[in-house]
A and B are shown apart, each in its own frame.
Chain A
Amino acid sequence: MKGKPSASSRQRLAATIFAIAGCLAALASTAAAFEGRINAVMVQGNETNALLYTVGTTSLRVEMTATNWPNPVDILDRNSGALTLLFPNNRSFVQLKPASEAATSATPSPLGMPAPVGAGPMPPGGLPPGVGPQSAPVAPSMSAMPTPFGAGPNMPALPPGVGPQTQTTPGMPPMPSMPAMPMMPMMPAAKMELQATGQKTNLLGFACQQYVLKQRGETLEIWVTDQLLPYQPYVQNQPHHFGPQRIEEQWPGMLTSRKLFPLLASLRYDNGVERFRFEVTSVTPQKLTDEEAKLFQPPAGYVEIQPLPF
């Protein structure tokens, strides 16, 4: 029987609409401004460190929670990007300008840096002349190389022109044209790019998608979400290395610019051995108290030290 909805059904409908709207609003606010705590572990080789992210609406604090050595605490102004490093070991702190501001305010200096561009035992019977390191440095206190297989004495004499030669064998007939090589591609020193694989999953209740980043002989797989906050890596000190930027130092910025946060990142050599891992273990949305807001300021009595000039 059709008819005008009753008052009670209108109230239920309205309540339902309000409830849905409330949920949507809550989801939207979560995505827009996560507030709470994130626990993660970072494994590098045989070193494991626990990280705690305390996320406020305008500030972020990143610190190591389980360590037997004093480490700095990072405080990030999420609006300006300014980073403050607290050093509890000597009760000091340093304020670093945002990367963009530091770049624009940098003045040319005669001391300025040029921009970086992006023996063991021999085989059985000894290597042929010209094969292997010719002037490798001495390696004091390095572990000795293991003994070779000792195949040399058992290997039969090679026919002339077979095996490693010091010069091209004269009189060798030309080879016929060969098919194209179905082999590994040449790997130039190309710029690294974060590439989405299209794979998706759910980690700790957050929808995640997978990205990969490849560098010479290494692949970083990252599962990220856009429902938390732009990633901020844990910064231990200034300045950065003069040497080459390792892959684990480059990927955080790529996520930050995309406003993504990793829930799992694993860096492996091409032979499968993992050498770096970042994994979020818990995410706790939580309104921070006024007392906790003090975590985003240098404690009283801390002395401000000067940032490094380069």
Chain B
Amino acid sequence: MNNRIVTSLCVLCAILCAVQRAPAQGSLTPSGPPGPTMLTLSQIEPRTPITNAAAVTISASGSYYLTANITVTNGSAITITANQVTLDLNGFTLSSTEASPTGTGILLAGGDTDITILNGHIKGGVTNSGGVYGGNGFANGIYYSGSIPVNVRVSGVSVSGCLLYGIYLGTGNSTVVESCAVQTIGVYGIFATSVAHSTAVQCGTIAIFASTASDCYASGTGTQGLVAISANNCIGICSGSGTAVNAANASNCTGQSAGSGPALSATTANNCQGKNTGSGDGLDAVTANNCQGQCTGGGYGLNASQTATGCYGTSATGIGLSALAANNCTGQSGSSGIGLSATQIATGCYGLSGTGTGLVTYVANNCYGRSNGSSDGLYANIANNCFGESGGGTGLDCGIANNCTGYSVDTGTGLNATVSATGCYGFVAGGPGPGLFAQNGNFCFGIPSVSVPGNNYNMP
């Protein structure tokens, strides 16, 4: 007990000593009345709120944001008549119930400059029934009147159910649409200079039209899916009669259509794929590199008016792959079409046909052609280091053959060279042959027989 008292006194003395040694804390008297230390409302939210639930016109530059949905019964929901305007829809929705749509969700009136529209929704009541568009709501989602706007960016906006245009900003004046979604639009889904990371589906005429389109998905019920000068990493679908992807330069794009137009049409196509389930071509290009084209009807699988390199084309009844010059390509026709047709030269190519000629070209180098029917396996004026085989026709049919092999399963000739054959081999498995016919032969071999009516040298 005494020890406890002593201890407590010692602690108390220590505290008092410490307090006595502490410096002074200054005067406790206030120097004046208290002043404002908090941020102003304009400092916290420098933007202007739009609290209307009905139509609004923005006529002064600045940054605006919605605090509520806006619904109109006619006309436009928001009209912007000023330059340097940023409009944040703030997740709210603009909608219209206009019976005969004429209005626009956001109208850029009068050649606006420096406009940004963000984060929200524009919704009409237009529907699509078998490719026919009708109903109430907006005519357009985002649109302009008068001169084409300049420096416009639309980001994170969805538009649906409009009779004419979804997001229409024009091209050529720095207009950008990114990360937007558009659906059920009567005419053009998205129309801008640059469109990226966006989708447009159920669009009546063209889903996406842009100078540059990247990472987009465009699906049209009308005549075209995606039209662009440059299209990268895009997918186009056209359920109408037209083209799914139509671009001057298409890279890593896929087109799928069901009509008479080509699924993918491009001046230059790189790493692209086109599939047509109608009567049109799978992929059309002036120059095609590492592309695939497929046609389930009578069109070309892949048609390159100049050069095809590393390409694959297949057609149900038409020509599998056609090019002026084909390099390392494969063409296949399911029936009477030519498997691979190269007007001038084929190098390292493979052509296969059901009943038609497997591979046709003027000069064939290192090629393989095969016909499952009675047509020629490989037909060329000059064949070098090639292999042709046919079910019942001539395996390899040419003028000059060098180091080639021809094979016929049944009644045809294995290898037929109307001018000369050098270092060649012809073989007929089940027919009389001859295995090899050459007008002039040099170091050739044939089974069951060789026919060389002209000069022959070094024949085994």
Q: How far is the CB of A244 from chain B (nearest CB, A)?
A: 4
Bound-state CA distance A131–B385 (Å) is: 7
Q: Does B224 contact A (CB under 8 A)?
A: yes
Bound-state CA distance A25–B325 (Å) is: 55
Q: Does A103 contact B (CB under 8 A)?
A: no
Which stretch of B32-40, B152-160, B239-247 is in the interface? B239-247
For B329, the chain A residues whose CB sits under 8 A away are 133, 136
For A236, the chain B residues whose CB sits under 8 A away are 223, 241-242, 261
For B279, the chain A residues whose CB sits under 8 A away are 44-47
For B285, the chain A residues whose CB sits under 8 A away are 243-244
Asked if A47 and B164 sit within 8 Å, CB to CB, the answer is no
The answer to whether residues A137 and B290 also contact, given A172-B423, A178-B420, A244-B303 and a CB cut-off of 8 A, is: yes
Contact with A along B316-337 (1 / 0, CB 8 A): 0111001010001110101011
Q: Does A113 contact B (CB under 8 A)?
A: yes
For A71, the chain B residues whose CB sits under 8 A away are 241
Bound-state CA distance A129–B156 (Å) is: 53
Residue of B nearest to A137 (CB): B290
Asked if A145 and B424 sit within 8 Å, CB to CB, the answer is no
Q: How far is the CB of A32 from chain B (nearest CB, A)?
A: 34
* A interface: dominant SS: loop
The answer to whether residues A163 and B425 also contact, given A45-B297, A46-B297 and a CB cut-off of 8 A, is: yes
For A173, the chain B residues whose CB sits under 8 A away are 442, 457-458
Q: How far is the CB of B39 from chain A (nearest CB, A)?
A: 46
Bound-state CA distance A128–B385 (Å) is: 9
Q: Which of A89, A114, A139 contacts B204 (CB 8 A)?
A: A89
Asked if A44 and B440 sit within 8 Å, CB to CB, the answer is no
Q: Does B298 contact A (CB under 8 A)?
A: yes
Interface bracket on A: 35 or more
Q: Does B70 contact A (CB under 8 A)?
A: no
Q: How far is the CB of B327 from chain A (nearest CB, A)?
A: 9
Asked if B298 and A275 sit within 8 Å, CB to CB, the answer is yes
Contact with B along A94-136 (1 / 0, CB 8 A): 0000000000000001010110111110110001101111111
Contact with A along B202-220 (1 / 0, CB 8 A): 0011100101000000000
Q: Which of A116, A166, A187, A305 contacts B286 (CB 8 A)?
A: A116
Between A and B, 30 residue pairs with Cβ closer than 8 Å are A69-B130, A89-B222, A91-B134, A111-B229, A132-B349, A136-B329, A137-B290, A137-B311, A142-B292, A142-B294, A149-B389, A151-B407, A161-B443, A162-B424, A164-B386, A169-B403, A169-B443, A172-B423, A173-B442, A187-B343, A187-B362, A236-B223, A239-B246, A244-B303, A244-B305, A269-B319, A303-B163, A308-B206, A309-B170, A310-B229
Q: Which 4 pairs of residues, A with B, have the shortest CB-CB distance?
A: A45-B279, A90-B186, A243-B265, A244-B305
